[in-house]
Chain A
Amino acid sequence: MIGEKPKGIRAHLTLVYPALMLGIFFIVPFGLMAAVSFFHRQPGGFYIPGFELANYKNLYTVLFGRTLLFSLFVAGLSAAICVSIGFPFTFFITRMKRRAQVVWLVLLMSVLSLSEVIVGFAWSLLLSRTAGLSNLFVWFGLMERSVAWYPGFVALLFGICYLAFPYTVLVLYPPLSRLDPALPEAAQTLGASPMRTFFTVVVGSLRNAIVAAFVMVFVFTLGAYLLPQILGRPRHWTLSVLITDAAIYQTNMPLAAAMAIFFMFVSLVLVALTMIIGKGKKIKTV
């Protein structure tokens, strides 16, 4: 029964409902957005159907270019931080007893499910003057008086990494927990130090998983929308903010749609590039 080819219409009935739902409520909206990106904008009003590239030409501004570059830079940097902390962390977790693993996983899932607005609020408190860490430092005598450490770039980076860290661990968890424990053991039996084993055997044999995790986290952090507004200054706003701003506050849907489509292509190209680089490395080592 399993793995055979479906025969006749009856067998396909199961698929009709999910196909319809995804078709109507995902493909159609997507196509609509793509179409709107070519429509003509009515100043003050909405838009009228048409076909013009004006919206894409309007993307060619300093603001858009700078925001795009900044978004990619922040996403890349925070993905790099998350993976380099998350990889050893996940490795440790997967070597723990099952019960301890579950406790850590529940904590991570709870943090993962937190809304961006809650993460932003929590970090703005933690870095604030009245309720923040600097109070603790004053109390220990390390600082003269408490200060506010946000808004700013570092605060934003902390927030984004906090948001993305549980996600990173969940992406790295399957490959690391499937890693054959005999491999590191063999390396240590042959005399490699634990440090060296980790970097040569564990990191080495999971290079592809690391690249994949980096890409997933990169795309995940590209979506940051509220954190730049809460923890950053206006110059730290990301493309998500710019797109929403164009759509909601300037009611310029065609421009917002053009930005979104362009944004999607840029992220897809970057993902593809990273994947190719990752594969190339694998071929060399094998």
Chain B
Amino acid sequence: MSKTLRNIFLGLVLFLLSGPLVVVSGVSLNAKKRLFFPPEGLSLRWYVELLTENSWLIPVKNSLTIAFTSSLLALSIALPLAYFLWRYRVFYARALFTLGISPFILPPVITALGFLSFWVTVGLYGMMIATIISHAIFFVTLPLVTISLGFESIDHEIVEAAETMGANSRTVFGTVIFPMVRPYMISGYAFAFVLSLNEYIVAYMVAGFTVETLPIKIFNSLRYGYTPVMASVTVVFVLLAALIFGLIGRFGDLPKLLGALNPEDQ
């Protein structure tokens, strides 16, 4: 395709992708409690309110706690499973892998409803622990896929060399395998963390009325009165995601993580 046409096309996509973000950033700077774009007057008061008003601070804390712990839990489930599957290619490990991927493939409302009936039955409905475990299961796909990619990238000869030199499987894991898989663990954790921060329907179904997370808070404010704080919190979220993925892109191999075979060739 001709270069100009290509550039026009890419520019259009860039415009559509960034358009909403630009408008939201503009709105977050309004001086008065109105949602104008371009903003009328400039101020950072809505960012200050986000960090000082309890009605926003509590959801921020809830969301961060849930994202931090649930992605850790997801990682702890994904690592042994991915390791086992890589080491022993047996059908039940594969079946378990498929199971780990399915919450991500089904429409989320189905998984969310399953969680709801489970937590009501167990009696933990409305507790933060329910949200944490549900998110861990819901997002286990991400570390599972990235860590599996990491295991696949390990050269078998290195492992064999270590074994020939007399290392037992514990030493091999600690000194050879783990360091090679670590960057994939970090990015898997980051993916799960960012998506958990932004997740709505599972958090809502499982404990929406008692444990208010940021997305729930934003949706509630959408229904019961707009405020520019919604825009400022969005900006913070986008920047946070861009920062995390930017770091992965800077220090890790983002194209390879996302499935490109030989990024160095290009």
Contacts and interface: CB of A to CB of B under 8 A. Distances in A.
Interface of B is mostly: helix
Contacts of A4: 87-88
Interface stretch (B41-49, B178-186, B233-241): B233-241
B253 to A, nearest CB: 9
Interface in A65-99: 85, 88-89, 92, 94-98
B156 A2 contact: yes
Nearest to B93: A15
B222 A260 contact: no
A210 interface: no
A28 interface: yes
A225 interface: yes
Interface string B74-96: 00111011011011111001001
Which of under 10, 10 to 19, 20 to 34, or 35 or more describes the interface residues of A?
35 or more
B180 to A, nearest CB: 13
A232 interface: no
B20 A123 contact: yes
A173 B78 CA distance: 24
A114 interface: yes
Interface of A is mostly: helix
B165 interface: no
Contact of A115 (B16, B137, B215, B245): B215
Contacts of B242: 106-107, 110
Given A25-B134, A122-B20, A14 B113 contact: no
Contacts of A103: 249
Nearest to A197: B1
Contacts of A132: 23, 37
Given A177-B261, A222-B107, A244-B205, A22 B140 contact: yes
Nearest to B121: A32
B100 to A, nearest CB: 6
B33 to A, nearest CB: 13
Interface in B148-181: 156, 159-160, 163, 169, 172
Interface in A234-264: 239-240, 243-244, 247-248, 253, 256-257, 260, 263-264
Contacts of A223: 107-109, 201
Which 3 residue pairs are nearest across A and B when measured between Cβ atoms?
A174-B259, A122-B20, A131-B37
6 contacts: A14-B84, A22-B77, A110-B245, A178-B260, A219-B106, A257-B113
